Amino acid sequence: MGRNPIYTKVYNELRYKILSGDLPIGSLLPPERKLADQLGVSRNTVVRAYTELEAEGLIAGKMGSGRYVEPLPPLPAFSRVDWRSQHYEYLHASPSHMEELLSVTDRYPDTINFAHGDGGRHTIFESGLMEHVKRAAERSPSYFFTSVQGLPELREHLIKWMAFAQISSPDQVCVTSGSQEGLYLITTLLARQGDCIVTEMPTYFGSLQLFQSLGMQIIPVPVDRDGMRIDVLEGILARSRPRFIYTVPTFHNPTGSTLSLVRRKQLLSISEKYGIPIVEDDAYRHLHLDKEAPPALKELDLCGNVIYLNTFSKMLFPGLRIGWVAASRPFIQRMARLRELTISTSTLNQYALASFLHDGALRPHLARVTRQYANQAERMESHLRPLRALGLNYEKPDGGFYFWISLPEGMKVRSLMQTCHEAGVSITSGDMFLLREAEQPFIRLCYTHEDIDQIDAGMSILTRILSSQKEVSR
Ligand SMILES: Cc1ncc(COP(=O)(O)O)c(C=O)c1O
């Protein structure tokens, strides 16, 4: 007979947390008295639980600094597989930029958000989308499956929206859960672990994280004011055979640059020459500040070499999780096969969007928000201009959502980011968009998410922090 049931409960809970990896190796356990207070048990109960865990080798005390979780004891030779610590090791070795960025508002709910890349809260109501979500929610088909390739009427609307001569049938379109899923499917179909792919550098961090997680070798091509350096790309293709060229040619994230018409034609011609497909990520096409974007690569594509990717995350809202891919029929059909494995896009959201597009609501919405975004960009720039005196540098983008800003050499971006978070402003560190830390530190600021008042408030805080950091580094 006899274990003390309270002690057993504490022991079992701690043991579970250690074995499952919830308390990773090296975690410091709370002092006896503190844990006893937290759990509402006697100190003696905690001491007994700790003693038992020590006897099992799961925890050990270090003189003067408390008790820590020990590495799991070696398994016997016939052993079970220790699948839990594999996850722990992976997480430790590969921190997630995506999670770091997307959870900003969970971690700092009142933050002034220059970190996320989306249209602002202030545009939701005016968009009129809510009305279409309600309408969709009142239709019974919204609650059932639709085609894996996406709701047929939505695909019809997408064809009209793109207005590309080459894409005339719903069989050439696949709806995806945001363009991130589209890019995942495309990459999985075109490349295998260890294969090379080419991309602009810097580039959209979600693509970098995706390629790296799938074990791709990334060949970077620099970007200038006119977009990807095609002369450099040509040199790369002469030496290696990447599986595809990933590009954000229009209002590039993060630099804001746009591939010139001349370079678009050169890119298409060398992709044709070497037989290497282009994955065109066109998320920002309709979000121009002054002049409209040049034609999409897909529009100029006479040989079917371009796989086109777009999303409603930037034109409308990322919470919809609706994007699409347009390409040749066989490619799209293979993609749909792959998608069957997850069947991931909500039918309800597809109906809502189809209804929004049916009413012709997208064009007036874009006309309204691009005017607002132009004012917001103007206002953010009015705060940035004086910061040039501190050594900051940037080019005003022609569209998209961001200012890509170089900071004075030696400034520590990660600590700047942390100081900003603590002061109530979220920014994005430039290293997320690069393969390795650049000598010149960068930050990315999104001007679309916050309204003018919040831009004023946030930029004043940022200016104060940057000025004091500059003082310190002198
Ligand atoms: C260039 C680019 N592609 C894709 C995405 C992701 O879009 P989605 O929300 O549709 O997955 C982003 C988002 O920042 C982006 O900037």
469 vs 317 pLDDT, higher one: 317
Q: Is the CB–ligand 1 distance for residue 172 below 6 Å?
A: no
Ligand 1 mutation target, pool 203, 209, 253, 315, most atoms within 8 A of CB: 253
Q: Which CATH architecture has domain 129-360?
A: 3-Layer(aba) Sandwich (3.40)
d(C-alpha 111, C-alpha 418), whole Å: 12
pLDDT tens-place string over residues 97-127: 777 777 877 888 889 999 999 998 889 999 9
Over residues 239-257, the mean pLDDT reads 96
d(C-alpha 405, C-alpha 248), whole Å: 19
pLDDT tens-place string over residues 136-149: 999 999 999 999 99
Q: Quote the pLDDT of residue 102.
A: 76
| Exposed e or buried b per residue across 236-272, where buried means at least 16 C-beta atoms within 10 angstroms of its C-beta | bbeeeebbbbbbbbbbbbbbbbbbeeebbebbbebbe
Distance 312 CA to ligand 1 centre (A): 9
Q: Is the CB–ligand 1 distance for residue 204 below 6 Å?
A: yes
Q: Quote the pLDDT of residue 197.
A: 97
Q: Under CATH, which number does the domain 95-121+364-473 receive? A: 3.90.1150.10
Q: Quote the pLDDT of residue 1.
A: 40
Question: What does the domain layout of the chain look like in residue ranges?
Answer: 5-92, 95-121+364-473, 129-360
Q: Under CATH, which number does the domain 5-92 receive? A: 1.10.10.10
Q: Quote the pLDDT of residue 86.
A: 74
Q: Is the CB–ligand 1 distance for residue 180 below 6 Å?
A: yes
pLDDT tens-place string over residues 133-179: 999 999 999 999 999 999 999 999 999 999 999 999 999 999 999 99
